[in-house]
Amino acid sequence: MELNMKQPQVKNFINGSFSRNGQKSMDVVSPLTGEVISSLPMSGMKELDEAVQSAKTAFPLWSSKTLKERIQIFFRYRQLLEENMDELSKLIQLENGKTYSESRAEVEKSMELCEFAVSMPQIVTNEVQEVSRGVECRIERKPIGVVACITPFNFPNMVPHWTVPNAIVLGNTVIVKPSELVPLSVMRMAELLKEAGLPDGVFNVVNGGQEIVEAICDHEGIEAVSFVGSTRVAKIVYKRASGNLKRCVALGGAKNHLLVLPDAHVRMTANDVVASMSGCAGQRCMAAAVMVGVDKVQHIIDQMIVECQNIVPGENLGSVISKEAKERIEGYITEAEEQGAKILVDGRGVVVDGKEGGYFVGPTIIDYVTPEMRVATEEIFGPVISIIRAKNLDEAIQIENNSNYGNAAAVFTQNGGLAKRVMEKASAGMIGVNIGVPVPREPFSFGGWNESKFGVGDITGRSSIEFWTQNKKTTTKWNPEDKTNWMS
Ligand code: NAD
């Protein structure tokens, strides 16, 4: 696979133009090889002010268009995603380190998210009722204004598409702050949205790190903030943005538990658990992190070890995002080993031929983990699964419930009654039954519970319509002959 390691300089995208002034800059490093491939501007309040001004100026015209007019852009844009699939996938691969097929799947998901956005006229139909003789109440959904989306490194293309198409189609104007580790995909997104005909100022990109995130949370011109990233930062953003009276939804980290029962289908379960923990090098907020083996599941663990033999770093397993991430992940494995856990498959010390500078970690299975160990409670964010043994299903459910997180949980069994118990009792927002990565597809919405999400509602699907709009309630009476005395 030919990858172009040298990429253009990253620029901000404000009012339809790319710009880069005298800001400080930061290197963009490809985790596949450790090479510097570009640099990005670390913007501050001045650039954010310009972006807010541009979005504010664009808002009156954009919000006054009909839904039908606004979605036309995203029909064209979705087509451009398809036409540029190969190039976009390679770009994701280069900046994030995931495999080509994982990168393609990301762009395909972004296309699906656009398909949901263009279906808004079928969904956002407003409500009207004759509430008393001759008196009508209606509810209309109106945009909220200038909104901001702050995104993480692990899905450089898809996560911005969780929010941007819906927010824009519903009439808002948007500022995106991409992860400073993967700014290239969002720059391409800006180019393609422009090519699709989006008016200047409706979509803006401001690059940077902590400083710009704090400025977004504080800026008076921004009405709503969506955040996706770690729980530590989600808490900071949620408190700061909502403390400044903004609407905010902040998705955080995860520690997803997969409860495996002895009657589970052996090959399917082993395959799903291993794919869930190792896909995208374990850097998915929906990844399996803890397997709770209920009673006698050795035969399934043995099959998981076999499955891991088919996973080859640098071929069907991508890199993790950085040198620090590799060290952190390997540190967790070593600590668990020192605490008495058993490493059944060890991904430490992996070096890929021809990519010696890349940050690869092999698939790792850690058995006999106890619930107090850090590998059982903290988000490792690498291709690692910790197995905790439980005597029975109640104990397994208790282990899942004790997690501070609550993004996803899954159960593997052929017993419908036991599966239903887990569906009811698991303390997580997204539940899988014999599914290792239970991502709901639109119009169903995406969002976790507990410390995996702060704020009301979810970030995609129908739920996002609430977040990106406000209700206008109008009560009308036209017939003067009517005797109804409505609140007057
Ligand atoms: P991160 O929290 O480090 O960064 C996310 C964003 O916050 C970035 O844009 C970054 O520039 C900014 N940021 C970082 N530190 C900051 C600070 N101190 N103050 C203000 N802003 C700051 O997350 P990440 O490492 O890019 O992404 C991985 C994390 O995201 C994992 O925890 C993963 O579980 C989570 N994630 C969650 C979901 C979900 O749906 N719940 C989806 C994807 C990723």
Among this protein's residues, is 248 annotated catalytic? no
How far apart are alpha carbons 173 and 187 in whole angstroms? 17
Q: Which pLDDT belongs to residue 283?
A: 98
Nearest CA to 199 out of 177, 180, 171 is that of 171
pLDDT value of residue 133: 84
Distances (CA, A) of 277 to 181, 270, 287, 341: 22, 11, 5, 18
Catalytic residue of the set 114, 248, 280, 285:
285
Distance 181 CA to ligand 1 centre (A): 11
State how far the Cα of 199 lies from the Cα of 197, in Å rounded to an integer.
Answer: 6
Helix spans in 339-460 (H)? 374-377, 393-401, 416-425
Please report the pLDDT score of residue 1 as a whole number: 59
DSSP string covering 407-437: SEEEEE-S-HHHHHHHHHH--SSEEEES-SS
Ligand 1 pocket, 7 CB below 6 A? no
d(CA 177, CA 205): 6
The pLDDT value given to residue 194: 98
Ligand 1 pocket: which of 285, 321, 446, 449 to mutate (most atoms within 8 A of CB): 285
* Residue appearing with tokens 């953003």: 237
Q: Where along the chain do the CATH 3.40.605.10 domains lie?
A: 12-252+452-473
178 CA closest ligand 1 atom index: 9
Q: Mapping DSSP to helix (H, G, I), strand (E, B) and coil, where does residue 292 land?
A: strand
pLDDT value for 23: 76
| Inter-residue contact 426 to 409 (CB < 8 Å) | yes
Q: According to CATH, where is 3.40.309.10 located in the chain?
A: 256-433
- Please tell me the CATH code under which domain 256-433 is placed: 3.40.309.10
Which pLDDT score is estimated for 486?
A: 65
Nearest alpha-carbon partner for 1 in 353, 314, 311: 314
- 457 Cβ partners below 8 Å, 6+ apart? 249, 445, 447, 463, 464, 466, 467
User: What is the Cα–Cα distance from 244 to 223, expressed in whole angstroms?
Assistant: 10
* pLDDT < 50 regions, the chain: none
Q: What is the pLDDT of residue 21?
A: 81
Q: Which ranges of 35-183 does DSSP label H, i.e. alpha helix?
A: 45-64, 67-83, 85-96, 100-118, 120-123, 158-169
User: Which atom belonging to ligand 1 lies closest to the Cα atom of 459?
Assistant: 40
Q: Is 183 in the pocket of ligand 1 (CB under 6 A)?
A: no
Residue 147 Cα to ligand 1 midpoint, Å, equals 18
Separation of CA 103 from chain center: 14
Q: What is the b/e burial string over 405-419, where b = at least 16 CB atoms within 10 angstroms of the residue's CB?
A: bbbbbbbbbeeeebb
* pTM (2 d.p.): 0.97
Structural class in CATH, domain 12-252+452-473: alpha beta
In the prediction, which pLDDT does 4 show?
Answer: 79
